[in-house]
Amino acid sequence: MNKNDGPDPILEYTYPIEQKFTRCPNCGNEDTFAARELRILKEHGRAGEDARAFLFGKRSIVADQRNPMIQVPMVAAEFDVCVECGTMYATRVNVTLTSPQILQGGSVPNRQQRRHPGNLLGGN
Ligand SMILES: [Zn+2]
């Protein structure tokens, strides 16, 4: 019996949580390299209107394995580089709930990740 048995505390919150950052925190410019290249592709019909681009993504599961939970929060962030001053910053942060099974045996790539191994966040 776990001393923390009871309602899962994170279930009180509403997920997913998404926050976008549309300006460079250093110079205020709104353009980033990956977004600019994707915009050019879209202008020439070489990318779908719903396609997204970013330099790289990172994600992390927030949990303490000593406290079993039904679902655990996963924070994912996309980063890009400002075309004006070169500052790298998070352009989008997303918090979702995921199964804690992913904690067992390390990271288990989902179907999207197996198809696009270079893209951790599944953007395209
Ligand atoms: Zn900048």
pLDDT truncated to tens, each residue of the chain (124 aa)?
A: 455 566 666 667 788 999 999 999 999 999 999 999 999 999 999 999 999 999 999 999 988 888 878 888 999 999 999 999 999 999 999 999 988 765 555 554 555 544 444 444 434 3
Distance of alpha carbon 71 from alpha carbon 74, whole angstroms? 9
Point out which residues pair with 89 in neighbouring strands. 80
* Ligand 1 centroid to residue 56 C-alpha, Å: 17
Q: Tell me if 46 is assigned to some domain.
A: yes
Is the entire prediction scored with pTM above 0.85? Answer: no
Q: Tell me if 53 is assigned to some domain.
A: yes
Q: Tell me if 69 is assigned to some domain.
A: yes
Provide DSSP, 30-88: --BHHHHHHHHHHHTTSS-TT----SEEEEEE---TTS--SSEEEEEEEEEEBTTT--E
Q: Which range marks the domain in which residue 62 is found?
A: 9-115
Q: Tell me if 2 is assigned to some domain.
A: no
Q: Tell me if 122 is assigned to some domain.
A: no
Q: Are 87 and 31 in contact (CB under 8 A)?
A: no
Q: Tell me if 91 is assigned to some domain.
A: yes
Q: Tell me if 28 is assigned to some domain.
A: yes
Q: How many domains does the chain have?
A: 1
* Ligand 1 centroid to residue 58 C-alpha, Å: 21
Q: Tell me if 1 is assigned to some domain.
A: no
* Ligand 1 centroid to residue 100 C-alpha, Å: 37
Determine whether 78 is exposed, middle or buried from the number of CB atoms within 10 Å of its CB (0-12, 13-18, 19+).
buried
* Ligand 1 centroid to residue 88 C-alpha, Å: 8
